[in-house]
Structure 1
Amino acid sequence: MPVRTRVTVPLEFADGFRTTAEVITFTGLVDGKEHLALALGDVDGAEVPLVRMHSECMTGDVFGSQRCDCGPQLREAVEQIAETGGYLLYLRQEGRGIGLYAKLDAYALQDLGMDTYEANRALGHADDERDYSAAAQMLTALGAGAVDLLTNNPDKSRQLRDLGIQVRSVRPTGVHASAANVSYLQAKVAHTQHTIDLASAS
């Protein structure tokens, strides 16, 4: 599965942080979606690339929604990877794989008292429908057979290892808690054992 294109894109975030990414596209990804890899920092100089598999979140990444921690995680990941050298994989898996409209339907149920996982189940979805086969394909195409993974989600490292990618170490992301998302973060810890130290954010 070859790399399709590589293009240099200067990045600037709302807080003024700037860096440059090489944005990479692929052909023949297993799920047919248009996932991206952003090469950041000195990838070639890194012993093992630092990798963040970031699932698309239009509400958080684009509009700054406070109902999740996705936007701050994306911003943090870009800076950490730029310092270390590695890849941010931007995966088109909105709403833990259920899609944008279904995610917003789940939000409506959360407003009635359900947590994020209960809402997914009420809509007929699994807790997390993401599959990282395409991510493993992307890393293989980039020559990254071993990675350090930036995540709080144990399922990501488990799936990557099962798909043949060596995860040398797992580095947790920061805790981006707010009044609007703390119950969401608590649900991630309770239901899917995310390594989020909410005590440090209180």
Structure 2
Amino acid sequence: MSSHSVRQTAAAEFPTRWGRFRIFGFEGEIGEGDQRHETAVALVMGDLKVAPPLVRIHSQCLTGDVFGSLRCDCRQQLEMALSMIAQQGAGVLIYEQQEGRGIGLMAKLQAYELQDAGFDTVEANEQLGFKADQREFALPVEILNALGVTQVRLLSNNPDKVAALERGGIEVLERVPCEVSHSPDAEDYLKTKKEKLGHLFTSR
């Protein structure tokens, strides 16, 4: 029995340049013991019951997704995910409010400042008193349960996301690489992801 309390707050039609989705809002109390309030949206296209859908869990990145920062590859990954879901005609993109691997926007900007001084992304988070990655991905499990999805093809380079879904009872039938072209400004960021966070890259 899950100790999380998650509810759907809204559902609406959501036309995009990739095609027509439905957008769902979710919020709830997540975590064992000291619970935290989390929110996320899910963009859903097509019939999720015909075959295990392609699923992307994307953490909010204001600097990349909105402002087009070249320090990361977040915007390219977001657009790749929406494009792939549209090409297949079905899938789910879960967009979590977990800026800066869960440390929040202002702390993320402080981490940028430390990175400019020579720290990598993991060291910068730790200098600020955070873990290398604060995220747990419990909310996406609850969202997939609410959508009736029990098996997925997960679009991700992050083995922690695979493990989190499987711990929550979601079967990951396939991990689909989410590798995109990137700016030279993101080279150190991606190197740290691979060497310190264990992200899986076929092209690096």
- The verdict on a shared fold, with TM-score over 0.5 as the criterion, is yes
Residue of structure 1 aligned with 2:64, choices 60, 64, 67: 60
Residue of structure 2 aligned with 1:77, choices 78, 81, 88: 81
Q: CA deviation at 1:44?
A: 3.7
Q: Which is further off, 167-176 or 21-30?
A: 21-30
Q: CA deviation at 1:163?
A: 1.2
Residue number in structure 2 paired with 1:21: 21
Q: CA deviation at 1:23?
A: 0.2
CA RMSD of aligned residues (A): 1.5
The structure with the greater share of residues assigned to strand is 2
Q: Following the alignment from structure 1 to structure 2, what is the Cα–Cα distance between the partners of residues 37 and 106? A: 28
> What percent of counterpart residues are identical?
41
Change (3 A) 1:96 1:68: same
Residue number in structure 2 paired with 1:90: 95
* TM-score after normalising by structure 2: 0.89
Residue of structure 2 aligned with 1:105, choices 104, 110, 113: 110
* TM-score after normalising by structure 1: 0.90
Change (3 A) 1:114 1:28: closer
Letter of the structure 2 residue corresponding to residue 19 of structure 1: G
Residue number in structure 1 paired with 2:201: 196
Letter of the structure 2 residue corresponding to residue 25 of structure 1: G
1:116-164 deviation line (CA, Å, top 9, x unaligned): 0011111111010001111100000000011110000000001111111
Change (3 A) 1:120 1:28: closer
Q: For structure 2, which runs of at least 5 residues remain unmatched after alignment? A: 1-5, 31-35
Residue number in structure 2 paired with 1:153: 158
Residue number in structure 2 paired with 1:163: 168
Q: How many residues align?
A: 193
1:46-80 deviation line (CA, Å, top 9, x unaligned): 41011000000000000000000000000000011
